[in-house]
Amino acid sequence: MSEKMKDNQLSRYYGVLAKQYPNVTAAATEIINLKAILNLPKGTEHFITDVHGEYPQFQHILRNASGAIRRKIDDEFGTELMTNEKKELAALIYYPKEKLDQVTKKFKEGSYEGDLGEWYKITIHRLIRVCKNAASKYTRSKVRKSMDPDFAYVMEELLTGRIDVADQEAYYNEIINSAISTGRAKELIVAVANLIRRLTVDHLHVVGDIYDRGPSPHLIIDALMRHHSVDIQWGNHDLLWMGAAAGNEACICNAIRIAAKYCNLHTLEEGYGINLLPLAKLAMEYYHDDPCACFELSGTSSCASESGIDHSGHLHLDDELEQKMHKAITILQFKVEGQLILNHPEYHMEDRLLLDKMDLENGTVEVYGKKYKLNDTYFPTISSNKSAYDLTDAETEVIEQLVYSFTNCEKLQQHMNFLYSHGALYKVYNGNLLYHGCVPLTKDGDFMPVELDGTVYKGKKLFDVLDTFARQAFYSENQKERDRGRDILWWLWENPSSPVFGKDKMATFERYFVSEKKTHVEPKNPYYSMLDDEAIVDKILVEFGLGEMSEDGKTIKPNQESHIINGHIPVEAKSGESPVKCDGKLLIIDGGLSKAYQPKTGIAGYTLIYNSYGLVLAAHEPFTSVEEAVEQGMDIHSDRILVQKVLKRKMVSDTDTGKELQGMVDDLQGLLLAYRSGVIKEKF
């Protein structure tokens, strides 16, 4: 491009910029504003992963910001308040409405001494002090925009007022007294508590697996949709639901099977309005007299005492019916997965074709060339090995109805759109690399080549193309691309080459029907045995742009303060396993937030806080209930691990947002020069 063309383009760009900043004063004022922001401390990032439908624990961790709010209370009050007073204040910030109801009740009962109005006054003063602490790293404009509009003026006056200055003391106190006398003290306390929580964490990262096992993934998505700033790195269970919502039959069957196994079929019906009546009828028709012993439930059932379909057509679930539905959907899953594998030989998953390897007459199945005894031989929908993957007419009807139900559920489609718009397979953010599973490696530690549609991909390019395929499943107007994308979403769920799965096989069939534990083993990708190899971690960081590589490819230099933040594989803390690898370069923050994993991990999850001073990892104990948190002043119980303390406090200028703001400053300075040189005329 010639210099003249460059000058013309630059002139046009400044002309567009001048519409927003029409004169020197406007441009200079914005430069001053942006430069001031660049010198504020960076906002706090909060990382959470493998939530698996555990809404109460998820909410509690979000509300207390993994202990960050309690630390602000300690910083602000030190020894000025007793420990129980700090706990009461913390509980009020976490659950203001519930705590206020408790306090009001205790004053009425006479359990609390003194006057409720005086309690309001003291409490509001304390909350404002904590709020000032939380707001100190933000501009007044950002704090104002985060306030409840009904109380914005009042809160701004309280936050900027000086009670220690004689001229302002009476004014300051009168604001609080007026809130109390007009009966608005409760609402003001709730507004300030909400603002504290909002300002304590600037951005939330969810590193995968919102869905499955726990009962309330839909409530978690609802909460995330209300969150002020969030991104999501898709986990294998999220992608499974994305595939189900896109209409992939194998994904639908897997999602329902997992819900049945963990007693969450009622969640499908009540949370998303998925019609399970056809499946229930199929289960009662084929498995009415079958005890379905291999399909015991893993969760705590909340089903009705009597199972069946009532006169109005409503489905009542109990453990017995849920087990039958569990078996019916599992057999359907193996059939439609078999059809997918047969239709896609390039997936190289023939070893998962096991229905046609069963010898029902002798009660055995052949797995990897060896015969094992079957724990169940009652398969009324399989007439022969040759037709093992064919659906009966009744099964075909059920599948068609389930596909319709999933693809036409408005709430599910909204939730999946949110996962797409706020999510991706990985994210590079403020010098850190976030992903859920693994970067597939060979045994030699090289990036594993994976062939998709005749092209070989590996490393970052594999993530990028899979991300594209996943989006095409939902949004492409080309039917061929849409079909491929839907199948790829299932491929991501359980193919050995999938970065979010990372195992040689998913031994679902063997776990149901074969007793020998050795057949249940799911060998992991070499990535997981190399997590303590710093050279491998450095190599991955550089591959995703967090470092440099020499021209000959022999020398790599990762960024000094970059980290990989990883989910997916629960860290067995009770066995002494550490989530911190390679001296903090890689952090696995799945510690068992899902109740299903807590017996294995010994804790209830890890979360990570990254503020201007460094990274802090919190290991949590199980959460009981909101009621107990409010009644007993129970705070989050956690052990903190300082992963890294930065040598120099991180400012906004050190972040990705800071780089964008600095680019804006540079552009505005160019605009100033254009005004002052007469290239562009000012407007007033």
b vs e for 578-603, b when ≥16 Cβ sit within 10 Å of the residue's Cβ? ebbbbebbbbbbbbbbbbbbbeebbb
Give me the pLDDT at residue 319, please.
86
| Alpha-carbon torsion, ordered 113, 114, 117, 122, to 10 deg | -90
pLDDT digits (tens, 9 = 90+) for 170-213: 888 899 999 999 999 999 999 999 999 999 999 999 999 999 99
8 A C-beta contact, residue 527 and residue 438: yes
Which residue reads 């080459």 in tokens? 497
Q: Which residue, among 484, 482, 333, 320, has the nearest Cα to 402 in the 3D structure?
A: 333
Strand order in the sheet with 423-424: 423-424, 230-233, 203-206, 45-48, 606-611, 614-620, 638-645
Give me the pLDDT at residue 262, please.
94
Give me the pLDDT at residue 168, please.
73
Identity of the amino acid at 663 = G
Give me the pLDDT at residue 684, please.
87
Identity of the amino acid at 419 = L
The list of the chain residues with pLDDT below 70 reads 1-8, 163-167, 299-316, 632-640, 642-643
Q: How far is CA 605 from CA 57, 152, 231, 672, in A?
A: 10, 36, 19, 52
CA dist., res. 124 & res. 76, Å (int): 14
| Alpha-carbon torsion, ordered 102, 106, 112, 117, to 10 deg | 70
CA dist., res. 51 & res. 606, Å (int): 10
CA dist., res. 214 & res. 264, Å (int): 8
8 A C-beta contact, residue 672 and residue 12: no
Structure tokens at 99: 């705590």
Give me the pLDDT at residue 644, please.
73
Give me the pLDDT at residue 598, please.
85
Characterize the bridge pairing of strands 423-424 and 426-429.
Answer: unpaired
CA dist., res. 489 & res. 648, Å (int): 43
| For helices 116-135 and 185-200, angle between their N-to-C axes, nearest 10 degrees | 20
Q: Cα angle vertex 505, ends 398, 542, to 5°?
A: 115
Residue 83 CB: number of other CB atoms within 10 A? 10
8 A C-beta contact, residue 211 and residue 237: yes
